Amino acid sequence: MTILITAILIVALLLIATERQTHINKAAVAIFACTVGWVLYISFGTDFVASQHWADYKSFLAGIQHNSLAVKQYIAKSIFLPYLGQAASIVLFLLATMSIVNILHTNGCFDFLTLWIRTRNSRLLMCKLTAFTFFISANLDNVSTIVLMLTITNIILPRTKDRKLYGSMVLLATIFGGALTVIGDPTGLVLWNKGAITASDYTLTMAIPCLLAWALPTAIVSMRMPKNVDIERPTLPYRGDDTNLKIWQRFVMFLVGIGGLWFIPTFSKITQLPPFLGALCTLSLLWIINEVFNRTLFDNRKRRISFDDTPHKMQYNSIQQILYIIGVMLAVAVVTETGAMHWFATQIDILIGNIWIIGSITALISTVLDSFASCVTMISLHDVTPDIPYYSVGGAYWKVLSFGTAVGGSILAIGSISGIVMMQMQNVSLKWYFRHITPLTFMSGILAFIVLCIIA
């Protein structure tokens, strides 16, 4: 049965990697794989419990006679629920950040970006656009960031060719901005919740590699572009009668939303509570402020009228991302519980035994397989082990995996959900991206990876 459950995960990963060819949504594949895997696991639970959790199971029985129902109850309560809790903590964090972005965008808190970024100087425009994307992505999830910033890009730029280049550089800023912090990407969240990294040490280690991987290809593309670029006069979207908030009100909401996200690592360190509680606290405070500032609207029971579909794009893509994350984490978890991951980790240590080579291989896999799935699978091979430096808290293994999958996701845009969103919004083909962007991301990724090897 272990072989069958492992085979289901492998087939699911192959379908995820070939989503563009099969046209089967990766979120659906991940959810199906995790469901079938856990059904098979609990159906043959006695064998797995006896080999992996016999001592804990005997304590769970507390004198009750062993039977199939007791085994299933033990698996459901003591094995499945902890994994579900880990996945739920990631999902709740993403839901909170997605809602924060939605509130800020709907109230026009990002509208100043369209006016501030707008310039005919192509290099200055590229610098402003990607720099702010890098900053935002370090605080928000990648999908919300890429949708928001590409919407702003498309308001400013009329030409399809320009949109492709700028959109690709926005993607790099999104990926490596997200990789900079523990809250900017689901991979960092998984490592943080696992206790494998600390927020400050992780960011300090990732700072130079992430900046290099984003800035180098962006600078090269900027130098190749003509001095001036055609732009359109930005027309801010109509959001209804309630958008006449004063500048200070929008600034307060922006400060609470983004500042609250900055405070999450400190909140978690002080309280020792999961990060998603800090995100929910920020969301609740911003929600209250939104109710106060828009009191007239809500008192009159008016509905917000919006011709801007950005929030809907965020919600649709974020819901897919959430379902995908749940599916992948639970599918990998059931394979881990069979003992297959431990066996696989042992074989890798025997055959390779070098975390830098393992990180490089993971990066290559991430070019075609989603970076989150690649990283979560490799993370599950080892527990946090204080006696082994590479696998201790803040160990190099965790950082190499996280950065390697980020590099892999940038080499081919299909290696990340945000990359697929960019290709859809900017009408970028895989052939075009491979021809114009991949050589730059591959070169900068290697250089940044070498820098990480020296620092970590």
pLDDT, one tens digit per residue, over 180-231 is: 998 888 888 889 988 899 988 999 999 999 999 999 999 999 888 888 887 7
Question: In the prediction, which pLDDT does 307 show?
Answer: 43
Q: Which residues contact 319 (CB under 8 A, 6 or more apart)?
A: none
Q: Which structure tokens are listed for 256?
A: 């609470």
Question: In the prediction, which pLDDT does 303 show?
Answer: 46
Question: In the prediction, which pLDDT does 153 show?
Answer: 85
Q: Which structure tokens are listed for 382?
A: 């080892």
Angle at CA 423, nearest 5°, toward 108 and 308?
A: 25
Answer whether 199's CB lies under 8 Å from 181's CB.
yes
CA distance 37 to 16: 16
CA distance 141 to 145: 6
CA distance 213 to 444: 5
Q: Which residues contact 326 (CB under 8 A, 6 or more apart)?
A: 30, 31, 34, 87, 88, 91
Query: What pTM does this model have?
Result: 0.84
Question: In the prediction, which pLDDT does 394 show?
Answer: 87
Question: Nearest 10 degrees: CA dihedral of 89, 95, 101, 105?
Answer: -170
Q: Which residue has the tokens 């500048």?
A: 247
CA distance 173 to 215: 8
CA distance 449 to 443: 10
Query: Which residues sit opposite 121 in a β-bridge?
Result: 228
Q: 151, 142, 428: which is closest to 309 by C-alpha? A: 151
CA distance 185 to 74: 33
Question: In the prediction, which pLDDT does 242 show?
Answer: 46
Q: What is the DSSP letter of 413?
A: G
Q: Which residue has the tokens 């393992």?
A: 358
CA distance 288 to 134: 28
Question: In the prediction, which pLDDT does 66 show?
Answer: 79
Answer whether 175's CB lies under 8 Å from 416's CB.
yes
Other CB atoms within 10 Å distance of the CB of residue 451: 17
> What is the residue type of 270?
I
CA distance 165 to 70: 59
Question: In the prediction, which pLDDT does 224 show?
Answer: 86
Q: Which structure tokens are listed for 84?
A: 């579900």
pLDDT, tens digit (0-9, with 9 covering 90-100), for 52-108 = 888 888 888 877 777 888 888 888 888 899 999 889 888 888 888 888 888 887 777
Q: Which residue has the tokens 């600390």?
A: 198
Question: In the prediction, which pLDDT does 7 show?
Answer: 92
Listed as ranges, residues in the chain with pLDDT below 70 are 232-244, 296-318
For residue 307, with 0-12 CB atoms within 10 Å meaning exposed, 13-18 middle and 19 or more buried, which class applies? exposed
Other CB atoms within 10 Å distance of the CB of residue 339: 14
Rg (C-alpha) for the chain, rounded Å, is 23
Q: Which structure tokens are listed for 17?
A: 């990697």
Answer whether 97's CB lies under 8 Å from 261's CB.
yes
Through-space distance between the first and last CA atoms of the chain, rounded to whole angstroms: 39
Answer whether 139's CB lies under 8 Å from 181's CB.
yes
CA distance 267 to 238: 36
Q: 111, 113, 122, 116: which is closest to 231 by C-alpha? A: 122
H and E: helices and strands count for the chain: 24, 0
Answer whether 274's CB lies under 8 Å from 89's CB.
yes
Question: In the prediction, which pLDDT does 169 show?
Answer: 93
CA distance 122 to 132: 16
CA distance 115 to 128: 11
Answer whether 174's CB lies under 8 Å from 413's CB.
no
CA distance 316 to 310: 10
CA distance 348 to 378: 11
CA distance 25 to 312: 19
Element (H, E) at 340: helix 340-351
